Chain A
Amino acid sequence: MTAIVEYTLRACLPLRRLIGLGLLMVAALLFGLVGRAVEDSPAGAFATVANSGLFGLVLPLAGLVVGDAVLGAEVRKGTFHFTWLSPVARWRITVGRWIAGTGVIAVTIAPAFLVAGLIAGTRQGGWAAAAGGALGGSAYVAVLMAVGATFRRAAAVSLALVFLGERLLGTVLSGVAQWSPQWEGAAVFTAWSDGVSSRDGIPTGAGAVIRLVLITALGLALTTWRLRKLKLAGPGD
């Protein structure tokens, strides 16, 4: 497992993706600054920009960058063969890569959300956003790994899932939102922030955490199952 985590961190996150993550961190800080400009209490202002900017944009994009990198991109490039052609149990490969992806989110996006909260003037909101970001990001990594293991055009499917499925349908349908990393991540944030109301119709607080754990577990199970069925035809086929 350690070998897989180390390999994923070394091999699956090329400079281009790290730059993308860096830009998303900068965007998160800018949203913190925007929060200062909103005429509301610091917590309320930060909640306004965090719900739409951090959880509606930065977190899904970070999930796309990292979730695709740790599996889907490797499958497409043909570099996944050497991992697959080993006697390592498929669930270990899945979990190893998820740990690596979640680790990257935890040391990039979550701290950026925390600092954004501090910039906006709400320490509590910052911590809540960091927690929601870490949990939501971890669920994103699992879900988008499953997409990467299932679809050859994983990047396009992931984009559609995140912005059409989650954002568009999730806005109007609570049934969709309660299975969405971004909505449930935001629900963790709002529940743990002071004086901020949560969205109705979806689990919040501890319920949101449980929901995100469930989404993560389902994503990992689906990824493992797909890895067993994976067809590694190679770029030329």
Chain B
Amino acid sequence: MGGGAQRAGVAERVGSPSHFSERSLQASECDGVTLDPALVADATVEVADLSVWYGPKVALTELTCSFGPGVSGLLGPNGAGKTTLMRAIAGLLPPNSGTVRVEGADPREVLEVHRHLSLVPEDEAVPDSLTARQFVAYVARLHGVGKDAVDDALDTVDLRSVAERRVGGFSKGMRQRVKVAGALVVDPRILILDEPLNGADPVQRASLITLFRRLGEEGRTVIVSSHVLHEVERLADRVIVVVQGRLAAAGSHHAIRDTMADRPQRFLVRTTKPRELAAALVELDAVAAVAVDGASITVSSSTARDLAVALPATARRLGARLLEVRPLDDSLESLFRELVQR
């Protein structure tokens, strides 16, 4: 796959159903060749034309992407196929068609892949009857890892003090951290985290986010899915958006937004002459709709760049002062909502 998957061109649009056609974005370059934004040059995890279905239900359709060192976020609504993709990467699910390669090997065929790959599943995957230490020690023994690593892993997720307690008595956040400890104890080069922040309190979330970022900075491939989108923004340098089993977008969330030029974006404009400015703006081709609320105007535009040029000129012409101009929906959450709706 690797080099053969390099495709010339920037911001490729995928020939998939129209409502998911934006495979945009921040193309990366390798030896002068521009890569598909869904692919990375130094891939450790490569997914090619992956399709997975459960009976009549299609979970993933011809999905191609790759992941390399650093933190990558996996986004999508419930049922989008994120978990299926993660499980397929880990080898838990066989592809119905297409391939998955982890460090060049098939994770379902080559057991050695699992020596340095860890998955933190979303579901309750830890037996209640074990203590936290017993569980982490079990995973360590399966991977041939020494006992010292068990304490280190428990320390990392701040569970050392309750390590002798049964997991069944833990809160959801603590159980999540037990799973993370079980994943970290093998010193993974590739770490797959399915909604790892579920149930964690704000302090734990911040701590886990810091941990995952550090793991990414250490050169590990960290793939994180989450429905808490602002946390993914804090976590991931790169985002893969999956909607209805298809790749909807890839790149940084800013890059995704920039290339989605044909869908309306909303801006808040505060000005000294809101009614006059609104009346002038509504005449512009770049403006789709205008709403006035006191001193603020909400402007919808599908050509944000044109608006950026026209707005100051119009304000100057009217003698109106622009007090504030800012996008209203420049978050990953709004982007995600829009990708789902398209």
CB-nearest residue of chain A relative to B130? A11
Bound form: Cα–Cα A146–B117 in Å? 27
Assuming the contacts A10-B134, A78-B121, A78-B124, asked whether A85 and B90 have C-beta atoms less than 8 A apart, the reply is: yes
Residue pair A3, B142 in contact (C-beta under 8 Å): yes
Contact with B along A127-162 (1 / 0, CB 8 A): 000000000000000000000000000000000000
A-B pairs with beta carbons under 8 A, tally: 89
Interface status of A172 (Cβ within 8 A of chain B): no
CB-nearest residue of chain B relative to A231? B93
Give the distance to chain B from A15, nearest Cβ to Cβ, in Å.
8
Give the distance to chain A from B248, nearest Cβ to Cβ, in Å.
20
Interface status of B323 (Cβ within 8 A of chain A): no
CB-nearest residue of chain A relative to B186? A86
Tally of contact residues, B, Cβ under 8 A: 38
CB-nearest residue of chain A relative to B192? A85
Q: A77 — which chain B residues lie within 8 A by C-beta?
A: 124
Q: B318 — which chain A residues lie within 8 A by C-beta?
A: none
Q: B130 — which chain A residues lie within 8 A by C-beta?
A: 7, 10-11
Residue pair A86, B129 in contact (C-beta under 8 Å): no
Residue pair A85, B94 in contact (C-beta under 8 Å): no
Q: Which of B111, B122, B125, B129 is in CB contact (< 8 Å) with A87?
A: B111
B interface SS class: mixed
Residue pair A237, B83 in contact (C-beta under 8 Å): yes
Q: A82 — which chain B residues lie within 8 A by C-beta?
A: 125-126, 135, 138-139, 142, 182
Give the distance to chain B from A69, nearest Cβ to Cβ, in Å.
11
Give the distance to chain B from A181, nearest Cβ to Cβ, in Å.
27
From residue 98 to 147 of chain B, which have CB atoms closer than 8 A to chain A? 108, 111-115, 117-119, 121-130, 134-135, 138-139, 141-144
Give the distance to chain B from A219, nearest Cβ to Cβ, in Å.
22
Bound form: Cα–Cα A83–B91 in Å? 13
From residue 196 to 237 of chain A, which have CB atoms closer than 8 A to chain B? 228-229, 231-237
Bound form: Cα–Cα A81–B92 in Å? 8
Q: A235 — which chain B residues lie within 8 A by C-beta?
A: 123
Interface status of B59 (Cβ within 8 A of chain A): yes
Q: B114 — which chain A residues lie within 8 A by C-beta?
A: 85-87
Q: A236 — which chain B residues lie within 8 A by C-beta?
A: 83, 122-123
Assuming the contacts A11-B127, A235-B123, A237-B59, asked whether A83 and B142 have C-beta atoms less than 8 A apart, the reply is: yes
- 4 A-B pairs with the lowest CB-CB distances in the bound complex, closest first: A11-B127, A86-B142, A3-B141, A232-B92
